[in-house]
Amino acid sequence: MAQTPRYRFAPSPTGYFHVGGARTALYNWILALQSNGVFVLRIEDTDDSRNNPQWTQGILDALAWLGIDNKDSHFEGPFFQSANAALHVEAAEKLFAQGAAYYCDLSSEDIQKRAKESGKQGYDGYSRDRGLGPGEGRVLRFRVPEGATIVQDQVRGSVEFDNLTIEDFVLLRGNGSPVFLLANVVDDITQGITHVVRAEEHLPNAPKQQMIWRALGHEPPSWAHVPVLVNEQRKKLSKRRDKVAVEQYREEGILSAAMKNYLMTLGWAPTGDTEIVPFEKITAEFDLSSVNHSPAFFDIVKLHSFNADYIRAMPLDEFIRACEPWLTGEKAPWQASAFDAKVFAEIAPLVQTRVQLLQDVPSMVDFLFCDLPTIDDAAFAKAFAPEWASTTLIEIREGFKTCEFTPDALKAVVEAVGEKHSLKLGKMQAPLRVAVTGRSVGPPLFEPIAMLGRDATLKRIDVALAKKV
């Protein structure tokens, strides 16, 4: 009977959830779904100095937002690496007992001194045959065998490492705590992991981990090392330098479906003429062997474009529901009592076609729910700079006093004033839009003015004209 494929995603809770980690998680999730396998979530929480419960919860929340959680039978976890500490030490002791590892008492200063004297870099294997046992300050090192280690990688093919270039690496620190290499392998073995799909930055670890796997009596998993994500300077995305937190994009109003679709196009592409496709199509078509070897550019502008397409494709009622967190509660820029859900439902179709981020929705409709809009000074200066701006706005105001207050009638008034002054509708709208909404951009103008009502519109025009004077 064939073994059930078991994929794992093993983030460390040391900060916000990285978009690169999100893509790796999606890769593993999709492969688990394709094979009717298992996605194992393991939180590698052994770095006490950097771990934080809030980061752990952030990982869980972000994965759930992406559709990866225990609601699906393919999901297992979360498991915590710290719970396996005894197993890590036990494995280290086994490796020492069978001669695959040895203790070393050289300090970092000692190693540097020997390297300087020999003209060679790194640790030279000095303690290999000294027969040292465990002791205070002594590290346990793996005895790297002669020859070469070949890593069979689903993305990169056969990758050969000359073992002469790999120094005897540490398994246990001087205080007895296991390092990442050992803990990672022991956890994978214990949890029956068959496939390891991770970022290419871990490729140099693969031969070392493969050695540990075999020294512990197990065949290593199937490896796949995928290209990292880079910024516009083609530098690896950094938490310190770049906008990388999944949580931040979620807060801005990126849709989960848009984020998943976009991340999956970074280094891989579905069939057809468009990158914007249902997640079901991605799940059906994704293949590690077709992942590009080159780093993938994480383009925020393109992500926003993806999101705009997904927003426009939403059923209207779904769009309205998606906007609610930004229209009510703490995120709303107006008093809760001022918001009218019916009014927003009326203008929602106009907003839906023009917004890229859900966080931008309030700024497109806030004038409907505030007594007076906050006028953008730059927009005001530009709109009222022409000598005709105030004159035409006064005439528009006069027309608005008596016309039927419908979008078509309001537009007709503005067009008539424009014809009188030989001005096109677009120019005529500029000072009117700023006066009524406070901004130079927004949804089509006349429908919102009709919703606002005659008295409120005239009041805002008066305020703008007074500001001009």
* Dist. CA 331–CA 46, nearest whole Å: 36
Q: Rounded to whole angstroms, how far apart are CA atoms 144 and 440?
A: 67
User: Of all helices (H) and strands (E), which one includes residue 38?
Assistant: strand 38-43
List Cβ neighbours of 397 (8 Å cut-off, separation of 6 or more): 458, 461, 462, 465
Backbone angles phi, psi at 17, to 5 degrees: -75, 120
| SS3 assignment, position 271 | coil
Query: By C-alpha distance, which of 312, 302, 317, 322 is closest to 256?
Result: 322
Note if 239 is an active site residue: yes
Residue 15, by phi and psi: left (phi above 0), alpha (psi -120 to 50) or beta?
left
Residue 142, classified by CB atoms within 10 Å of its CB into exposed (0-12), middle (13-18) or buried (19+), is: buried
Q: How far apart are CA 460 and CA 454, in angstroms?
A: 10
The DSSP-derived string for 405-433 is -SHHHHHHHHHHHHHHTT--HHHHHHHHH
The single residue of 116, 239, 281, 467 carrying the catalytic annotation is 239
| Closest C-alpha to 149, from 159, 139, 141, 140 | 159
Q: Which of the 8 DSSP states describes residue 268?
A: -
Distance CA 322, CA 318 (A): 6
Look up residue 128 and give its DSSP letter: T
Tokens 């290999």 sit at which residue?
A: 128
DSSP string, 360-372: GHHHHHGGGTSSS
Q: Running DSSP on this structure, what letter comes out for residue 353?
A: T
What 3 state SS string does 172-226 have?
A: ECCCCCECHHHHHHHHHHHCCCCEEEEEHHHCCHHHHHHHHHHHCCCCCCEEEEE
CA angle 436/439/442 to nearest 5° reads 90
Query: Residue 339: which residues within 8 A CB-CB, separation 6 or more?
Result: 327, 328, 332, 369
Task: Say if CB 91 and CB 182 are below 8 A apart.
Answer: yes
Distance, in Å, from the CA atom of 197 to the CA atom of 266, rounded to the nearest integer, reads 15
- List active site positions: 239
